[in-house]
Amino acid sequence: MMDRFEKRKPMPKVDNFDYKDIETLQRFLSPQGRIHSRKRTGLNARKQRELKMAIKTARFLALLPYDNR
């Protein structure tokens, strides 16, 4: 578990979110498979929406899990 005061890894800078780029998308997911909030990702609204759509597409194609519990 991450220490309370440990600095988080910065989120990667992505121009276009692609549902096939699983490794990048996984950086924006919590260990449980939930999408991080805008506060955490630092993305603007449009980019966050693109991220959401890419993750949901990848989930439908069984590239990413819906739930990692």
Site for another protein, rule CB under 8 A: 20, 57, 59-66
Q: How far is the CB of 35 from another protein (least distance, A)?
A: 15
Q: How far is the CB of 14 from another protein (least distance, A)?
A: 17
Strand partners, 29: 35
What count of other Cβ atoms lies within 10 Å of the Cβ of residue 25? 22
Q: How far is the CB of 5 from another protein (least distance, A)?
A: 33
Report how far residue 31's alpha carbon sits from residue 39's, in angstroms, rounded to the nearest whole number: 17
Q: Which two tokens stand for residue 37?
A: 């909030």
Q: Which is nearer to another protein, 6 or 23 (CB)?
A: 23
Report how far residue 41's alpha carbon sits from residue 24's, in angstroms, rounded to the nearest whole number: 12
Q: Which is nearer to another protein, 37 or 60 (CB)?
A: 60
